[in-house]
Structure 1
């Protein structure tokens, strides 16, 4: 299966954000749930092995878009490798919050997740990805994730990792006993690096912050990522990040 979906914003004459385009293609179905909020609704099983899915996001200058999903994405095995390609452009002075529910890697799946995020100066972004290593009681499938961020054409972040290699996953230097991994990229720049139980907050060389976390379950993972997001935004003043529970992991 090949499917493509797209969402775009535009600035109205009175300065409000308008969702000017929503194109859906099952299983990628978009629904507008607020003035500047859109959710992905899965209308078919997938991705399955061999599927090629693509999502295109275009946030016009000085507009705001919050993009989420109503449920987790379950990646299932099939014939060959599945792929999810997300391409996003965020204009000058625009705001994007991308925070879907977790991706769950079912046993036997072969998946590739590719994100290409292009920013213009003064764009404000929070981009969160969460991956769960299989359903309850099962071993995870395999996933190769690649995340590329540029600002005004210059590299900000290049990151990739693989889940589902038994020879590596159980290593204390990789995932150890964790069952979930997650990252958040923010344009806000943390004042200094922070390391706590299962989470790291790392300012990037150019600008921005990468929050990385491991956890035993999806609830713990979300809590750790939100703690890191709040920590990064204390000095970064990024309006797209909001807090979860007030308590978080203790700083080591």
Structure 2
């Protein structure tokens, strides 16, 4: 199955944000919800089980000049195995124009045993845009081994690379992913990326949040918080603490 969800946000000229495009397909249902202040809020609601092996899901969000957009999901996403053992793809594409701000804060992605999922998130920002992006990944359900999960995050600002990283976990991933130099036995991992022009004058310092969370300033007005945790609840606590500190 192939399905695409498309969102377009535009400043409405009255201090708010309109949604001229809000269209989902298949399992990608979209609902407008209340945002904060000038934000338009959108909830991604899973209309059926997905992604299954062989599926290709795409979420595209375009924030026009001055638009404010908050994107969330209603529940965790389960990567499930298909009948024929095919891999699945989940692509997220964000485009932020000048003076826009987007918060992409989905619920966790759970890699179920036997699944094979490749996730690609790409964000393209104008120099004055702001982005808060959270990723949370859970390797297997309770007492279950994970599937193969490959995730790549690429961010450009003003047409120049800001961040490009890739992670592979589970059966078939390069050796050492679960060792002391990798996840060290943890089964939940996540990150929070905040891109904000205010960091050009006042960049956050490198820091440690708890035992397994690190704050890394990037070569640009951005900060990346990466975290490991024993469960999804503790991971969310760490990333929400980071969002209160570095976000808006």
| TM-score with structure 2 setting the length | 0.91
Q: Deviations for 1:199-243, whole angstroms, at most 9, x for unmatched residues? A: 001000122011100001000001111223334x2xxxx42xxxx
1:168 aligned to 2:176?
yes
1:84 aligns with 2:90: yes
Distance in 1 between residues matched to 2:43 and 2:61, nearest whole Å: 12
| Aligned residue in 2 for 1:56 | 60
SS of equivalent residue, structure 2 residue 44: strand
Matches within 5 A, 1:24-39: 24-34=24-34, 36-39=40-43
Distance 2:31 2:207 in 1: 37
Instruction: Provide the residue aligned with 2:44 in structure 1.
Output: 40
Cα deviations across residues 177-198 of structure 1 (Å, max 9, x unaligned)?
2110101110144421012311
For residues 110-132 of structure 1, give each alpha carbon's deviation from its aligned partner in whole angstroms, at most 9, with x where no partner exists.
Answer: 00000110000111111000000
Q: Which residue of 2 aligns with 1:159?
A: 165
Q: Is the 8 A contact 1:126 1:185 kept in 2?
A: yes
In structure 1, the partner of 2:150 is: 144
Which one of 193, 198, 204 corresponds to residue 218 of structure 2? 204
Answer yes or no: is the 8 Å Cα contact 1:198–1:224 preserved in 2. no
Unaligned runs of 5+ in 1: 240-252
Q: Secondary structure at the match of 2:92?
A: strand
Distance in 2 of aligned mates of 1:120 and 1:31: 27
Mapped to 1, the partners of 2:69 and 2:78 lie a distance apart of 25
Q: CA deviation at 1:107?
A: 0.1
Aligned position for 2:102: 96
| d(CA) in 2 for partners of 1:13, 1:226 | 32
- Which of 239, 243, 248 is 1:225 aligned to? 239
| Alignment check: 8 A CA contact 2:11 2:68 kept | no
State how 1:179-198 maps to structure 2 within 5 Å. 179-188=187-196, 189=199, 190-196=203-209, 197-198=211-212
Alpha-carbon displacement from aligned partner over 1:56-101 (angstroms, at most 9, x marks no partner): 1001111110000110001001131100011110111111111010
- Report the 3-state secondary structure (helix = DSSP H, G, I; strand = E; otherwise coil) of the residue aligned with 2:176: helix
Question: The residue matched to 1:169 in structure 2 has which SS?
Answer: coil
Out of 101, 105, 115, which is 1:109 matched to?
115
2:186 to 165, 178, 182: 178
Contiguous gaps of at least 5 residues in structure 2: none
What TM-score does the superposition give when structure 1 sets the normalisation length? 0.89
Q: Distance in 1 between matches of 2:94 and 2:204?
A: 27
- Aligned pair 1:118/2:124, yes or no? yes
